[in-house]
Amino acid sequence: MKNIKYLQYAFLIVGVLAVFEFIFVRGMFTWLISVAAVIVVGSLNVIVGIKNKEWLQALHYILSIIALCMGYFVIM
């Protein structure tokens, strides 16, 4: 159960860093790291949510992944 909280905190930190990177840096290669981190940590949270039968939380993470990555995909 503690690992679930660590994954949630990790997603929160990665999400905040992704937003800061999008606003302040928008570097040529830093967006790849940011998007990859959001997708990996978010996918782990989705898997844990589905495994624990927390469907609403899993859907929330799916929507959060899409929202955090949407800015990068619109620019391209």
Q: Give tens-digit pLDDT for 17-74.
A: 998 988 888 777 888 899 999 999 999 999 999 999 999 999 999 999 999 988 777 7
pLDDT of residue 27: 73
Domain residue extents for the chain? 2-75
Locate 55 and state its tokens. 């469907």
69: number of Cβ within 10 Å: 19
Instruction: Give DSSP secondary structure letters for the chain.
Output: -HHHHHHHHHHHHHHHHHHHIIIII--TTHHHHHHHHHHHHHHHHHHHHHHTT-HHHHHHHHHHHHHHHHHHHHH-
